[in-house]
Every structure is written in C-alpha cells, then in structure tokens.
A and B are shown apart, each in its own frame.
Chain A
Amino acid sequence: MRQLQLFRTLILRPLRRDLLRTALTIVSVALGVGVVIAIDLAGDAATGSFRSSLETLVGRTDLEIAANGGVDERWMAALTALPVNARFAPVIETQGVLDRTGSVTVYGVDFVSQRPEAEAAHPLPRDLNCAIVVSSGLARRLDVKAGDRLSLTLSDRRRTFEVAGLAEAKDAEFILLDIAAAQRGLNQYGKLDRIDVFVSPREDFSRVERQLRATLPASYRLEKPGTRSEENQRMLRAFRWNLRVLSYISLVVGAFLIYNTISVSVVRRRTEIGILRAVGASRRRVLWLFLGEALLFGLAGSVAGIVFGRAMAEGAVGLIADTVNSLYVSSRPAEVALHPSAVAAAIAAGVAVAVLSALAPAREAMQVAPVEAMGRGAHEHHSRMHARRNLCWGLTAAVIAAAVSQVRPVDGKPVAGYAATLLAVAAMAMAAPAVVTGLSAGTRSASRWLFGPEGLLAVRGLAASLARTSVVVGALATAIAMMASVGIMVGSFRETVLVWLNTQLRADLYIRPAGRASADEHPALSSDVAGVVSAVPGVEAVDDFHALEFKYEGQRATLGAGNAEIVRRYGRLRFLPGQDRGSILRSLEGRDRVIVSEPFANKHGVHANDVLNLPLGDRLVKVVVAGIYYEYSSERGFVIFDRSTLLKYLPNLPATNLAVYVRRGANPEEVRHAVEARLANYRVTVAPNRALRQNAVTIFDRTFAITYALEGVAIAVAMLGAANSLLAMVLDRRREFGLLRYLGAAPAQIRRMILLEAGFLGIAANLLGLALGFVLSLVLIYVINKQSFGWTIQFHPPLALLAGASTLVWMTTVLAGIYPARAAARLNPIEVIHEE
C-alpha cells in the first residue's frame, strides 16, 4: 500500500499535471504497438486460408495425389482397382471469371460418382457439359437459384451455364463443374490437377499409403492435406518476416522515447528521490517506482495500440493481399480477427519495450544519494556524457555489425541481416552524443554570425542537454534511417526492374486469357489462338509460352517453355556474369537443357552445368542447367525449357501466353487492332509492350505501398517524440529562459532560439539518419533481400527523393518546436528565477 501511495504522489500526480506530455508518450507507444499488431493481423487475414474450400462440401481428404504437369486420368482405373478400402476422387481446381462478380474458384469433379449425399436424391442434369452447381454462400451473394443461368469464363472462353443446384458449404464460395467439362474448358485433356483419397476409418492408413507409393510413378507426389497450405505459408514467410521487422522499427523509435521520458522524470525528481532516500527508502523501492511509470506507459500505450492496430489492419489487408496474389499465390483475404493471443502478444510487446527502455534511467534514479535533498537551489543535474567513450563503443558495434552481416541465413531467414541492422542502429545511437557535440562546436561561430545570440544559445543548448538531445536525435535518426534505407532499396529495386523490363519485354504485343491471374495461376489459351495470330498481316513471329506450377525439392516454382530461338533473336535476356546468352539459348533446342532464374538458383543452391532431377508427368527427367538469368517478376523461381523439349515430356500442355513480334515497318497499333479483331470470339487481353511495362511498374509500386505506410508511422512516432522532448527541455530550462528575459531578451527571441534548436536537432538527426540509412540500405540490398528472395539488386539511390524526404522531415521537426517555443516565451520570469 505504501508503494502504491508513493507511486501516486511521486509518479501519477506529476503525470496528471503534465497531461500533454503524458498523452504524447502514450500515443507514441500506441502507434508503435498498433503498427506491429496491424501488420500481424493483416498478414494473417490477407494470406487467408489456403485450404481447399471443397473440404467444406466433401469433407477432409486423407491424402492427395499430384504431379508436375498434372495427373494422368488413366491412373484412376488403376487406383480404383487396388485392394484397399478407400475412395478416389479426381479434382481439377482453377479460377474462373464470372461476368457479374469477377474471379471465383471452380472445381471440376466427377458429377456422376462424387455427388454429395444430399444431392443423391435429385436427378443429374441432362447436359453435364452446360451444368454447374453453385455453393450456397456464393448463391446467396449473387442471389441465384437452381435454374438460373450464369456466364463463366474458363481460360479464354466465355460460356453460359445452367445452375443445376446448390451445394450446402457454409460460407465457402465456389462453383462445381463436371470434370470432363472442366477438362474441355481448360484445354486439359486427359489431365487432372490431383486425385483426392478418402481412406475408410476401418482401413489401415499406412497400408494404403504403401500401396499407393508402390503403384504410382516415382515422379508423383503423395501428400497429406494441408501440405499446400504449409508450403504457401512457408513461401510467404520471408515476405511476412520482412514486413514484421519493418513494423518493429516504430517500436524501436518508441523505445528511445520511453527512455527519454523516464530520464526526464528522474532528472526532475532528483530532489524528491534524495528526500525519499534520506528518510529511509531503499534503492530497490526507487527503482520500482520508475519501472512502474514505464509499465504504466507500456500498458496504456499497448491497450490504445490494440485499438489503433485493429483499425489499421483493415486498411492494410487489401494492400498485403494484393501483393500476395500478384507475386506469390492466389489467396482470398479473410476477415481481420483479433484473437486473445494477439492481444496478449501486443500488450507483452508494449510493456516489455517500455520497461526495458526505462531500465537505465531507473537504475540511475536508484543511485541518487540522500545528499541530493540537501542541495540549495534546484540546479539542473547534468549527467555526464562520455561522448568519446560512447563513440568508441559505437564504432565497435559497427564493426561487429559488418561481420555479422556476412553470416548465412538460418532456415531461410536472414537473421544475421536483422541482427546486423539492430547493431548498426545501436552503433548510431552511441555515436549520437559525439555527433551532437561536434555539430555544436563546429557550427558555433557560423550560427552566431547567421542567427545572432539566438543561434549561439541554440547550438550551445544542444550540447548542454547532451543526454537528452542525443536520445531525441537517436530516435529521429532511426526513423530517418528507415525511411532512407527502404527508399534506397526500393529505388534501386525499381531501377533494376525497369532495366530488366527493357531486356525482358521485347515483344510488341502480349496475349493472355482475360481476367486477373495470381502468380501461381496460368490459365490456358485455346490451341488455335497462336495460329490465328500468326496469320495476321504484319506479324513476324509468335512465341507461345507454356507455363505451369511445379514443385521442386518441396518448394513451389514455375516451369515454362518458349521458343529459345525467337528469344535469342529478338530478346535481350540477361544472364549472370560470364555466361554467354547466345550460346546458352542455342544449346536448349531439342535437348534436356534448361535455364533457371536467379531466385531459383539461389533458393536451391543451383549453378550452371548442375544436373536437376525434374519430376515431369510420369517421369523423372535429368536436365542440365545451361545458364542462370536475372528475373524479377516473382521470387518463386523459373525453370525454362525450349518448347520442343518440354512438350516431349508433357504433350498437350497448352500455351498460357503469346509474345508477338511485329514486322519492321508495320504499324504496331494497326497490327494490334487486327489481332484483336481476329480474336474477338476469345476472352483474351492483347496488351502492347508499353502497357505491360506500365502494369508491371504499377504492381511493383503497389507492392511497396504498405512499406511506405510503415515508414510514415515511424516518422510520426519520432516527431511526437521530438515535440515531447522539446517541451520537456523547455520545462527543464525554464530558469534559463527566465534569466534571458531579465537580460533583455524579447519573447520573439526566446521563440526563435527554441525553433533554431529544433532545426539543429533536425540537421543532426538527418546527418546521422542518412548515413545510417545508406549503411542499412546495403544490408537490405545485399544481405536481407538476397537471402530472403534471391535477387540481385543494382544500387541506384534516388537522391532527389531522399533530399526531398529529409527536407520534409527537417521542416516537421522545426514545426514540432512551435508549441514548446510559445510555451517558453510565455513563462513568467519572476516565478522561474526564484524557484528553489
């Protein structure tokens, strides 16, 4: 009880008196916690569920049989004949486009043998080719019932189907099509995406598994359900981790501010602490008082942060889901759900950061000697800053950071890269006092000359409150460094992608099925489209590209095939240094040789001339890696054959897009119109080169939208901290301001002095922040990005953007000084001079 009373008097009462600063501190913590929780919640919701929604209808499968290039449907007969008590269901799974609403999951199932029990009583539709079954959830949303007609596009063909019935499947949204109709619609003759296996509870599961492995080809996969979901989550891991780490930056900035706030609290209460100690309070009691203050900030900030975070998550879901679909895998975002575990984690994070940040100043408080109570005149305590010693420690931390950054990833995560980043931030924080001291000494004469006594007092003031100003500079610099490093990384990446687009996209037109496909979807073109386009006057060459999802060593990638000769003649594909493009591409035709993308090579540790065992259809095919090329459309990775080779192993593999080269001298626009006219009956997109590049750049920019938002929050937290600290500084130096009024300073001069001090703080923070940002960008580009995604990014810092952004931050820092400046000018000099 005594402790509580002490806490109320010594801590709570001053906090209530200083409501503005208390609120600023809590909001800073809240923003930091809010951002962390928002990214987590939004990430969970955006990556949604990768489990097949078919499970809600047919129940959970026990095993799935799959193969690269599809399962040959002839295996159904062999499997059904096996002496096991299990049921086998062929499945095709794809995305279709409904006229009214857009993308929808479409399952091809055997209507005859796989009808849900509930539907068994109803007769089958007469024409299975034109019938669909709509899930109850989708039917509710579209307001359709049995007998209605819906227009659905599969691949590049739009057809009208009759709704034969509804399937009760809770809120899941999908359409069922007879499997044969699905195969026809997708040009997937004789192929299935998988065979679902349902093992009877009375059967020995392992025996079934053994029988299946013995029967099926070695290139076929036998997977437990949820494997795909786990693989997708694993694939997204690097992306989500990087976002998480970015979100933690705001918390790190918040940590600086808590440290500062508690330090101010300790400085102000030195006399009270001395009195407490003089009347018998133990050091430990004093320690717990200030840790209690931090705990209060942490709790209040975390609770507010949960509310912020929940709201921010709603906005972030769409951005993250967009990126997941564009670059990784199709996913339908779920509702943002705030689980008790997320709440507990947020509170734990906020409290932990607050308490840990307060440890050093709280320990300082417990060292206050009772004699502090005896001091006449409450002179401001100047904690001695060992700027040079801290600089040495900072340099040591920097060296360790450089060494740590070279360590290889752990379980695919660039843990060493993150650690190097943290060490670099710590190094900067330790160097901050020396930088502030140096800036103060170095600009003294110039400041006085330019700004008169206000300038002199401002630079001197920075060094006088070194313990406080270096923490504010550290916080601001961290936020600026994050902004600068991410800005350099994204700018470099963007420039690299633009250069790559120039080499990659050389055709005049690109044709693919209409509708938006996720990174793992490759809707097929009808087999006659290439021929139609080739016959259009003005078309010189058509390269039909065949792509499909495949798995290699448990990770998803894209297998593709094109015309190597056309690519060699017209393209500018860039290979790793030392690899000759022409000879590599010439070596592919008709041979078991492939080229792989850089991310694929890095993920699987593949080098030129290595041999890969690729499961293709029923076979395991040994191929030689002829070369490794730069590729930035997806970090999933590509393995590319010449068309002639892949079709040898996967005949009837449909084309998924066409690259059309216009004859020299022909008008590309006219040719495009002619192609569109010839393809009027197909649902395809005919995109000119320029539009495709623009689209690629738009997707790129959208991918980083969430990153820019996170940067904005970190800067906002730092700004709040700067305003908070400037206000604290004004309150703590009030005697100085009172004295200046006695010496003849006008209120406007006091205001100008504070604004100049804010300006110098901003300059110091910018210098440190930009330097740190440059270093961090190297870690981001050459370590974290490389280890996470496998890409080589060329270094292209966007100098104009950085200059603009840092100027804006500097101006905001000065603006943060306006209120403290006015408060300083309004102080009553008589009261503050005679305070004792």
Chain B
Amino acid sequence: MRCLLGLDKHKLYVVSLAAALMVVVVWLSLFPGTTLDVYVSLFAACYIAVSALFRPRRRGFDVVGAALVLSFCYIVAVKVMEILVK
C-alpha cells in the first residue's frame, strides 16, 4: 500500500481522495438534474472508503468525516420523511 508510485501512505491518501472527489463531481455534472444532496452523499461515501483504505493518521478528531456522515444522515432522514409524508 505505501510507497506506491514513490508516495508514502499519507500523500497517497490525499491524491486518492482528490481523485475520487473529482470523479464524483465530473461524473454527476454530466447529469443536469442532479441535486446537491446526491453530491454530498457520494462525497461522504468516497471519503469514508478512502479513509478506510488508507487509515491516515490525523491531528485531532476527524471533523470532516463527522460532518459528512451527519450530512448524509440528514439527507437520508429528509428523503425518508418525504416518502412517509406522501
């Protein structure tokens, strides 16, 4: 895992995360009707997947991960409420 392409684990994590987010933005932008919550949901999925794969060390609490997971939970809750109300 580490020293792939001559990069250490943390640099590889940053590059992979950037690539994953870019792919998500580019791919979803091809579909005109895509709403922001779909982007956020996929950002959350990518972030969690890349973090689980590389397990980078961090300074302090994983604020980004927490924010993305909470956002994802909020989006799911809103969608469920919409379905229930209908």
Q: Do A and B bind each other?
A: no
